[in-house]
Chain A
Amino acid sequence: MAFGWLNVWWTSESENVELNRFKNIAPTCWEIEPTGEMRVPATIYATKELVEEMDSKVYEQLCNVASLPGIVGKAFAMPDAHWGYGFPIGGVAAFDPNEGGVVSAGGVGFDISCGVRLLHTGMKLKEILPYKETLADLLFQGIPSGVGSQSKIRLNDFELGEMLCGGAQWAISQGYGDSRDLEYIEENGVMEAGEPSAISQRAKERQRPEMGTLGSGNHYLELQEVREIFHPDAAKSFGIELGDAVISIHCGSRGLGHQIGTEYLRLMLDAAKRFHISLPDRELACAPINSEVGKAYVGAMNCAMNCAMANRQILTHFTREIFRELFAQSQLSLVYDVSHNTCKIEQHMVHGKSKRLFVHRKGATRAFGPHHPEIPEKYRAVGQPVFIGGSMGVGSYVLVGTQESEKLAFSSSCHGAGRSMSRTQATRKWKGQEVIEGLRKKGILIRSQSLRGVAEEAPEAYKDLHQVVHAAEISELSRRVAYLTPHICIKG
């Protein structure tokens, strides 16, 4: 596609991380001692092989994060860490507002509260197989997906304001789902501190046609089968058994979150200058949590989280309606809904003291261990469900948070596989139709409005999800519960 020469002379050099830059604490724990501007150490949790494959930019970006004001503990990178913008993707960092801590729009990302929700169909896959093609077609017709897609929902100003404050609770009050769903969404489906006045008219306009849409890129809705169980107690608690058919939905806060991220990144660039915060990379633009801009961003970001949770709730409703068309008695229950681009206020122990911290997770999932009060009662004995999305040919994992993760990384785990190949490289290597045919032979039906989009998302363009999850388990960030294989993929 690109014209002329491919010259990367004008871009920063990137190479793989050198192991001798770390102190190897444990087989999957690589520590960077604080040097230069770093205020705290940094740690990457990954196997030797994964660290060796990581771009040196991950190292650089993690050190930059460790130099931000008010950071506590350490800056962390999860096993799926890769070169992001400002923060590495797979980065976790907590800031104390009482120690001049900052909040960073880049530390959350453009797709605020992007996340995964898992629904149980109440059926075994073998019951669905005879209707697989029909179900794929109905899902593709009924789930607005891909670039420019819109649903029939149009919110007026009042409804938009209600949605921004009410999240999934608002969606349910509008008839999109059941109030029983709320217990199985982080924060019961609503961030209470949403502040619509901190959001521009442009952000609201961008969202207006996009409620109940999946988006594009790596977003998807999949029918999957529970293929393997690793942790029978947790699987039992989550209500999943071998052969069960489940639905995974991966998407976020759509245009609203993208616009909030864009605008606050710019505002924080000015704020950082005003507060004399030295930025090794402009993308780390941030503001003190207690500043006007910092507070406004937190209010706007909470609204974007509400938007993402409302969006996934609406998509759940659409999915349930489609299932009822084919299976009149179907009852799709929500297993859980987790976000992986967030900044949340949480209590954590730091040097023996309980502190109220602003925990940034960019491409990382909260993973509370057993007995945490924020976990639904039904799951409390085993820990919080964590969903790790893979490519359309590989599938996903269900993990569970561990007690150890609190000490290791403020109760966090990984979020996905990450790309091993650029989109341009992927389209040079594969044709969309070939990818679709190849997956069909494996029993995976792909529905997408874009053949180029399918080629860009080819399974081989992603890293090995199994290695990432394995590293998360041996690091004790989380434990494997189940492996889910794809059968239908509605590709955004």
Chain B
Amino acid sequence: MTGNERKRLLNCVDQAGFAVDEAVLYLDTHPGDCDALAYYQKARDEQKRAVCEYNAKIGPLTNDLVEPANRWFWTDCPWPWEKEANY
């Protein structure tokens, strides 16, 4: 797995996550907006797909995604505030 691939996959997670964040805040004050609900559903599905791909190819973004093996690798990768974790 190249560094560029990791950056591309993280960018997908960030973009989809941002779309979900925006939809959630809008829906909090417009709970009956059907267009917004459809947008939320699409964004959430894309976020799930992107997180799943990142998890399979790079590593866990949340600690419930850690697959127990012979090592606890949640704390192996750089933390988000480190330059190395960003793109």
A binds B: no
Interface residues of A (CB under 8 A from B): none
